[in-house]
Amino acid sequence: MPKFKRLLQLVAGPPLFIGLLVFVILSTDFEKRIQGQQRQFGQATVAQLSDFLVPYVVAGDVLSLNVISAKMSQQDQVISIAIFDDKDQLLAQSGSESKDGSIFRDEMTFQGSAIGYVKIAVPEARIVNQGFLILPLLLVISLVGLIRFRPDLIVAWLFPVTEGNATISLDGTNKSDADENQIITAGPECMLVVRIRPSHHLARHFDRFFSAAEKFNGIVEQTTPEELVIHFDRDNPMYEAASAGLLIRQLTETLQGNMTFGGTIDIASGDSNEQRKAASYLASISEGDLLVVNGESLLADRAALQTFHHPMVAYGDLQRILEIDHQQQLKQDAEAIANQ
């Protein structure tokens, strides 16, 4: 096992487990405290109510008992109330008992003799939903699984590459010092937004466009009837996004039908929703071009670029990709995919 991978497990594992354990303990303790307060409230309420109702039970004033029970059950703190005499005959009742409520009972006494009893139902206010406890558990399992099986993603996050591609080993050493370690290629994740108009062409040829993106390890997401968002996070994401975008553009030219293509490539950032909207807007006005918002230097000498100008765009350094170093191969691939 590589050193860096073991270090991640050693450093991240115990804090995650301890944090989950503390969360469970505190949640359980807090709920027990709330339940204790509910019991105290229910016992105190039924005790006071039994003392208050004694004169009305002794006098046989059933009407007053019904009025009092009705007013009590209208309160949010009491679900139902029932008053019985010493022969267990119901004198007054209001509300209905709920399975989610807690039942409390207290006897009514007059001059040392029991004359009946009062029974009330109080709602259970469970502050902590036990189902929520599975969320941090799933989070911990996901993080541990990420550390165990995909440490390369964490390496790419800890050592981001902004210019070109860099090869680093799992323990953070240079390539020359990593003979016994696995070598991975890190690069910034990229997003390709493609718009195909009219939208029925996208629906008709979706499988072909999907194959074009998949050929370069793209993860396809359809956001609107005429728009695809394709994510690239392997090897050389910028180069693969450019290749996939040009292949899709070539497909629109090869396939029969009067369809238009527009595409935008950008390096993925934190605010992905706003970034996608901006890329979608650029794709809608690109009119057959494949644009690059950021990271065009990652293509190095492998693509021919040209500055893109448009009256509705304020970007001063927006570039469009004219062709790539394997353009002829893309044309052959487009023909093959179109004939599928």
Please write the tens of the pLDDT for every residue from 193-243. 999 999 999 999 999 999 999 999 999 999 999 999 999 988 789 999 999
**Calpha distance 293→279 (Å, rounded):** 8
Q: How many residues does the chain have?
A: 340
Residue written as token pair 């590459």: 161
User: 55: buried, middle or exposed (CB in 10 Å: 19+, 13-18, 0-12)?
Assistant: exposed
Among 173, 212, 190, residue whose Cα is nearest residue 334? 212
Predicted pLDDT at 212:
95
User: What percent of the chain clears pLDDT 90, i.e. is strictly above it?
Assistant: 29
pLDDT band at 334; cut points 50, 70, 90: very high
Whether the predicted pLDDT of 266 surpasses 80: yes
Average pLDDT of span 164-184: 41
Element at 55 (helix H, strand E): helix 3-59
CA gap 241, 203 in Å, rounded: 21
Q: Which CATH architecture has domain 188-338?
A: 2-Layer Sandwich (3.30)
Into which CATH architecture does domain 3-123 fall?
2-Layer Sandwich (3.30)
What is the pTM (predicted TM-score) of this model?
Answer: 0.47
Q: Which is more confident, 38 or 288? A: 288
CA pair distance 35, 105, nearest whole angstrom: 17
81 with 98: CB under 8 angstroms? no
**Hey, where are the domains in the chain?**
3-123, 188-338
